[in-house]
Amino acid sequence: MPAVQNAANRLLYEGKTILARSPTLALPVARLRGHGEPFDPHVDIVIEGFPRSANTFAVHAFRVAQDRPVRIAHHLHAPAQVIAAVRARVAAITLIREPEDAVLEFVIAKGYLSVRQALRGYLRFYSALLPYRDQVVVGPFREVTSDYGEVIAKVNAMFGTRFLEFDHTDDNVRSAFAAIEADWATRLPPGVAFERKVGRPSKIREGLKEELREEYRARGVSDLRERAERLRGAFVSSPS
């Protein structure tokens, strides 16, 4: 039965990554499923990226920085979110991480996905957004996790917003991580399963990633890997 379920989950994932490119399809489905926080015209900002690209940190740290409640569309892991924001002229951050780390962490979190499948998902996500690259702020993983205030400053400059910038102090980072821990504690008990999924750094995950790197760097996925790395380069090298 687990093998059958895993096969069904893999097939479902392929369909979702195709559907996720269309706002008219992906957003209503997300609302029906109660998945993430889907876009609507009344949100203050969209923060969205491929899974394991600092999505959870970016959302919690953004809230930590503000002096008022803000509505954030997030965690659909669907390019449709960003496309809808662009069309509605709503502020948006597209998060992006080096494909090796994002893909390996996603495979660890899901358990049933192959590296090849996760790479295809990465390519579908960012290739759908490349035409909109200059209409959003790009948040590279390393910048989001080390100087998120600068990313928010770019949002204000591009969209004329007045969001407060995240002060990247140890105390503020701890506050964001504490919020993440509390959120995930409502879903999973402490342990290996928790560490595979929780949206903050994990020594357990780092060890599991090392075990998977050979699969990521294998010749059989070289075309997908090289395309993903070029696509990331196109995002981070273009001016905001």
Would you say 17 and 120 are in contact if contact means Cβ atoms under 8 Å apart? yes
Domain interval for residue 57: 2-237
Distances from the Cα of 201 to the Cαs of 16, 168, 231, in angstroms?
Answer: 27, 16, 25
- pLDDT tens, position by position, 56-108: 999 999 999 999 999 999 999 999 999 999 999 999 999 999 999 999 999 99
Express each pLDDT in 201-231 by its tens digit. Answer: 888 888 888 889 999 999 999 999 999 999 9
8: three-class secondary structure by DSSP: helix
pTM: 0.93
Number of domains in the chain: 1
| Of 181, 103, 102, 97, residue with least CA distance to 144 | 97
* CATH number for position 210: 3.40.50
* DSSP character at residue 164: P
